[in-house]
Amino acid sequence: MSTLPLVDLLGYWLGIFLTLSILSFLYKDNPFYKLAEHAFIGISIGYIIIQQYYNTLRPKLVGELGMGHWLALIPLALVLMMIVKGLSQRFGWVGRYPLAFVVAFYAGLQINGVTSADIGKQVERAMADPVDYKTDVNTADRGELFSLGLPPAVVDGIIKQRAQKPFTSLGQIADMPDLSAANRADVRGSRGPIVGLDSHASIEPGRVNAFGTFSQILLFLGLIAALIYFYFSVEHKGVIGKVSRFGVWILMIGFGASFGYTVMGRLALMIGRIQEIRGDTMPSAVADQVHGPWVALASIIIIVGGIVAWELLRSDAPPAGPAQGGDDGDDSDDADANSNGEPVGSAS
């Protein structure tokens, strides 16, 4: 087991300490939180500057000019024009040209992509046949069978098997010889009449997927209703009002799904930090040297002790006058906390 370099070890420890410092904001705004917040912003900006210099400015500007490629002076001039906007009110109009260049460039780039990928393909999808037919496993091509969500080995097995004898039931797919136990279990697990394999596949042509058809119709109606909600040229009353109301419900369901996923993302951040502290995300040899849980415990003791001392010092200090701004006792311009140093929204 190789010994972890001291700088890496300190990096892990600092990461744990700063994580808990940020979380201390849940109690109230405090010096540990401020330290971590300021360090984060400072390091981020420093990192961006270094990255942009070595990956963009040096090869694309300094390097190009060094090789005598004078065309690189054009982007340099655009950058300088942007800086003029910040330095002078009188000549601020100069900064509009690089802004116009960037906006026009990306607008042109986006129009093509959005038109083909977002409008064209999605309209094509929305205009699909409302009747959703099941895939006939006895005649479907490889791509159609693959779209049923079956493993490649099962798809190959179906093509081979049906050439000898057509399937008379979907249950025969899982009973095909030469399938691995995992594939067999996968096929059996994917069976189901509503959204499972049985709803998408059949052993004869022309069978309708009832739930799929319902989904297609719902998609179409939902699309129309949601669009009507944003159509303001007609007053939303009567039939239009009811359709618009249905559109609101569709939008709310969409926002609800997005909210659920957002919650998942935020929880994942917390889970990631805990896994890092526990050493789950690093090789066991590294975790054994970092001792994350012990470092976390030490960090909690330092932070709690520090906050208690800070509170005691604040209570001993004479009350600050209005000129100091609030009762914090510090001179921080805290935008995220109320006058008691508590997170905004806390109503205790």
Partner 1 sequence: MADSSNEKLHWSVRLQRFDRRWVFLAMAVAILVPFILPCNVPYKASPMVKSLYYTIEELEPGDEVFVSLDYDPASMPELQPFLEALMLQLKRKNIKMVFATTWYSAPPLVQRDISELVERPIEPTGAYGGLPDRAYVKNKDFVWLGFREGREAVISAMGNDLWATFDNRADDGTPLSQIPMMQGYKQLKDFDLVIVVGAGYPGVKEYVQQVQARYNLRMVGACTAVSTTEYTPYYQAGQLLGLAGGMAGSAEYEMLVGRKATAAQGNDVLNAGYLVVILAIIFGNIIYFVSRKRKGGAVR
Helix axes 292-316, 238-278, angle to 10 degrees: 110
Binding status of residue 117 toward partner 1 by CB under 8 A: yes
Q: Decide if residue 264 touches partner 1 (CB under 8 A).
A: yes
Nearer to partner 1, 168 or 180 (CB): 180
Residues 225-254 that bind partner 1 (CB under 8 A): 254
Nearer to partner 1, 39 or 268 (CB): 268
> Which of 196, 226, 224 minimizes the C-alpha distance to 212?
196
Interaction of residue 324 with partner 1, rule CB under 8 A: no
Q: How far is the CB of 331 from partner 1 (least distance, A)?
A: 25
The DSSP code for 127 is: T
Q: Is 121 in the site for partner 1 (CB under 8 A)?
A: yes
CA distances from 159 to 141, 142, 166, 344 (A): 8, 8, 10, 62
**208 Ramachandran zone, left/alpha/beta (phi>0; psi -120 to 50):** beta
The only residue of 110, 139, 180, 339 in contact with partner 1, by rule CB under 8 A: 110
CA atoms within 13 A on the CB side of 97: 13
Q: Which amino acid is at 111?
A: I
Q: Does 281 bind partner 1 (CB under 8 A)?
A: yes
Residues 122-151 that bind partner 1 (CB under 8 A): 122, 124-125, 146-147, 149-151
How far, in Å, CA of 16 to CA of 5, rounded? Answer: 17
Where in the chain does DSSP place strands (E)?
A: 135-136, 201-202
Contact of 196 with 211, CB cutoff 8 Å: no
Single residue of 68, 177, 283, 318 touching partner 1 by CB under 8 A: 283
Nearer to partner 1 (CB atom), residue 269 or residue 323: 269
Residues numbered 55-94 forming contacts with partner 1, rule: CB under 8 A: 55-56, 59-60
Closest to partner 1 by CB, 83 vs 271, is 271
Q: Count of residues for the chain?
A: 348
From CA 10, how far away is CA 7, in angstroms rounded? 5
For residues 166 and 215, which CB has a smaller minimum distance to partner 1 in the complex? 215
Tell me if 26 contacts partner 1 by CB under 8 A.
yes
Identified binder of partner 1 from the candidate list 1, 269, 323, 335, rule CB under 8 A: 269
The Cβ of residue 343 has, within 10 Å, a number of other Cβ atoms equal to 14
Residue numbers at the binding site for partner 1 (CB under 8 A): 26-27, 47-48, 51-52, 55-56, 59-60, 105-106, 109-110, 112-114, 116-118, 120-122, 124-125, 146-147, 149-152, 189, 254, 257-258, 261-265, 267-275, 278, 280-281, 283, 343, 345-348
